[in-house]
Amino acid sequence: MTASSRSDYWLKLGTTPEQLMRSAEGFRTMAYAPYSNFFVGAALLMDDGSIVGGCNVENSSYGVTLCAERIAMANAVSSGKINPLAIAVAGEVSSFCSPCGACRQFLAEFNPDMDVLLMQNGSITSISLRSLLPYPFKLEDI
C-alpha cells in the first residue's frame, strides 16, 4: 500500500497502515449498533506512537448516535493526547466507510492534514483529511 511510502512517520513510530487498520477492525467488534447493524471501528495513530480507538455507539434517539471516528478522537483527548497523525476506519467488509461530514470537521480540529485510511474488500487506501474537507471551519478564521 502507498501510505507507508508517502509519510515517514510510520517508520519512525514503528507501526504500519495495515497494523492501524487491524486495530480499527478490533475496535469495530465493540460497536453498539443495534439499529443500523452497521458496525464501525476507528483507530488513531497519535504522535507519540500510541493507538487510540473507538467504535460507533447508537441510541434509541437515532440523532444522538456517535460515529466511531468521533468516539476515537474523544478517547484520545480524554487520555491527554491531542495530536493524531492518521486514522483508520473499518466498516463493513465490502463497503468503503468514509468519515461523515461531522466527523471530518471534528477530526480537522486536531489535525486537518491527517491521513485517513479506508478499506474495501481488504485493500487499504490513504487519503488526506484535507482533501476530504478542504475548508474546515476554524473559529479564528472569522
Which positions are catalytic? 69
Minimum distance from residue 73 beta carbon to ligand THU (Å): 12
Q: Which amino acid is at 41?
A: G
3-state DSSP helix/strand/coil percent for the chain, to nearest 5? 35, 25, 40
Of 38 and 137, CB closest to ligand THU: 38
Minimum distance from residue 91 beta carbon to ligand THU (Å): 7
> How crowded is residue 80: how many other Cβ atoms within 10 Å of its Cβ?
8
Of 24 and 51, CB closest to ligand THU: 24
Of 2 and 36, CB closest to ligand THU: 36
For residues 68 and 43, is the Cβ–Cβ distance under 8 A? no
Name the residues that contact ligand THU, by CB under 6 A.
33, 36, 38, 40, 56, 58, 65, 67-69, 89, 97, 99-100, 103
For residues 138 and 35, is the Cβ–Cβ distance under 8 A? no
